Amino acid sequence: MPSVRNPILPGFNPDPSIVRVGDDYYIATSTFEWYPGVQIHHSKDLANWELVTRPLNRKSQLDMRGDPDSCGIWAPCLTHDGEKFWLVYTDVKRKDGSFKDCHNYIVNAPSIEGPWSDPVYANSSGFDPSLFHDDDGKKWFVNMLIDHRRRPRVFAGIVLQEFDPAAGKLVGPKKNIFKGTELDLVEGPHLYKRNGWYYLLTAEGGTAYEHACTLARSRDVWGPYEVHPENPILSSKDAPFAALQRAGHGDVVETPDGKTYLVHLCGRPITQKRRSVLGRETSIQEAFWKDDWLYVKNGPVPSLHVEVPGTPDESKYWAEQRYTFEKELHKDFQWLRTPETERIFRLGDGKLTLIGRESIGSWFEHALVARRQTHFSYDAETVIDFSPTDERQFAGLTAYYCRYNFFYLTVTADSNGQRELLLMSSEISYPDGKLRMPLPEPVQIPNEGKVKLALTIRGVKLQFYYALEDDELKSIGPVYDASVISDECGGHQAHGSFTGAFVGMACSDLNGTALPAKFDYFIYRPVKHESDRYEI
């Protein structure tokens, strides 16, 4: 049988929820503050995956303006009840401090492409909701439960309640059916039924280096649930040199011929500082049943290479992507928080026009269009046409994680209207967001004409470049430490940053006049570099 090298969804693709409908597999992953919400990939063979839709794409479904970094869409659950697809998700409005404001919703669709319904509100008692379709026709809704009193802990357990699709709401009694184990921080629940047993798969340990998958079972959906005799069934917490770290938050699927697989999130840290630049990614493990318990093959430590039905084709993964801007934005791109795209960008005449709004890192309305970093090393390039009148108008190329972590080469102007290049960065600057500008002298450029902007990342080294029309690229600014564009540096370093590195185009007009910047194209070129660790 052929094998695939993990992760199967590289780059920022955490909290996978998998479902099979006939011969088709679908994985839904979290998107946090990036719009549209929820990524859904499709595969026929578990080896080759294609992004097919982001279903939460209009204001009635999702508006994240004001959501802090690493809030927004947490841990969607995608299921199918034999007639339609169901997607449940959380929109987190606050995660810091003693409280978490998180609202859970349910949408459905006749096909994966949609149309997806307007949301039905479920509850706000916790996050990571999941929907289970029982064989008697009932639908059970579970989510982790938050207790701000810490009696005895904030992650208080998994709460169960019935969902009535006709009434469009949760009904009947609710109960905390599982309070977790000594691993703590129980979350990410999924319910299954097999051979008369109800199985509850959860994530524990927090989504850093103690992460794990915990399995429990009961004869009654209401419990009590007994924990797997060899729990956790998946974790890298005791294997610091394993290729796949941070393993946890999983979901289970069966192939048509009865084989079982577990998908889960993981991280591939670089440098001895253990920084996950590519964020939390999705991997797959072969599993098997023994004595009505699920085990991961060669587990609990996840395997880098796993046998799957299909043979992976890596040619697309390594291909250069040259994006042009015609009628629609390419599906690889996302933007931040807002459903009102007409206020931040438009396409026409083969250009992407970004409309200058708020500053980079704004939680409300910032014109930034970017794609995931999916390789350890790459080149990026664009050409910008922008005529700023002063220093409060700037646009350019950015390697971005959040308001506390980004590198940004901009075209701007001084107070007299003379165009110049300004290099800005925010590096591990939580909580004050300190801005650094390393150029000792202004780099003036002509007031007319397009400017080519580029950056390269080779392992942990990031370098910016620029060129005027018909000139060769030349470097500008220092060699940056690219590893700071990572989960571990984005804010609360233990459990507070959940996305991944992006690269893209941005525009701000702090005068409030909505000055536009036009971009001709965008290139993302994967590079194989000796420092990259795909196999180790």
Catalytic residues, which ones? 365
- Please state, in angstroms and as integers, the Cα–Cα distance from residue 397 to each residue in 190, 200, 360, 400, 434, following that order: 40, 45, 11, 9, 19
Distances (CA, A) of 142 to 91, 139, 233: 16, 10, 21
CB 282 within 8 A of CB 27: yes
Strand partners, 243: none
- Please enumerate in sequence order all residues whose Cβ is within 8 A of that of 490, keeping only pairs 6 or more positions apart, or say none: 69, 70, 401, 402, 404, 405, 430, 496, 497, 499
Q: How many residues does the chain have?
A: 536
Half-sphere exposure (CA, 13 Å, Cβ side) for 516? Answer: 13
Can you tell me the distance from the alpha carbon of 106 to that of 365, in angstroms, rounded to the nearest whole number? 26
Amino acid letter for position 243: A
Task: Report the alpha-carbon distance of residue 398 to residue 373 in Å, rounded.
Answer: 12
What is the Cα–Cα distance from 240 to 247, expressed in whole angstroms? 11
Q: In whole angstroms, give the CA distance from residue 170 to residue 20.
A: 26
Question: Could you please report the per-residue DSSP string of 409-420?
Answer: EEEEE-TTS-EE
For residues 277 and 270, give the distance between their C-alpha atoms in angstroms, rounded to a whole number. Answer: 7
Read off the amino acid at residue 474: K
- Find the helix or strand (DSSP H, E) in which 146 lies: strand 139-146
Are 65 and 362 contacting, i.e. CB atoms less than 8 angstroms apart?
no
Q: Do residues 13 and 281 touch, judged by C-beta distance below 8 A?
A: yes
Instruction: Of 232, 236, 233, give the one whose Cα is nearest residue 245.
Output: 236
